[in-house]
């Protein structure tokens, strides 16, 4: 198997643009992206929140019947 390593940067919106000619057209390709672990850990929560906010599986939470708690419930926690 042949491995190709390309270094690149993302643009301001986080999109990756690769300028590399494979000299092959109409072929399926597989791309492997490895991220620096420190950078991944910092952005992991933001990525997770962004993906679940768009996930239709959580649409039921917009139902007013799901609002079972209010600010008057419970007791304040002062630590």
Q: Each residue of 53-72: pLDDT tens digit? A: 888 888 888 899 988 888 88
Helices (H) and strands (E) in the chain, counts: 1, 0
* pLDDT string in tens for the chain (79-residue length): 566 777 788 888 888 888 788 888 888 888 887 766 666 566 777 888 888 888 888 888 889 998 888 888 888 888 7
What pLDDT sits at residue 18? Answer: 83
User: What pTM value is reported for the model?
Assistant: 0.33
User: Is the separation of the CB atoms in 34 and 28 below 8 Å?
Assistant: no
- Distance, CA of 41 to CA of 35 (rounded, Å): 10
What pLDDT sits at residue 2? Answer: 66
């Amino acid at each position: 198997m042949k491995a190709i390593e390309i270094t690149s940067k993302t643009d301001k919106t986080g999109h990756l643009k690769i300028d590399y000619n494979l000299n092959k057209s109409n072929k399926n390709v597989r791309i492997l992206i490895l991220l620096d672990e420190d950078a991944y850990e910092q952005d992991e929560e933001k990525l997770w929140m962004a993906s679940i906010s768009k996930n239709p599986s959580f649409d039921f939470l917009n139902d007013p019947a799901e609002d079972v708690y209010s600010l008057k419930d419970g007791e304040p926690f002062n630590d």
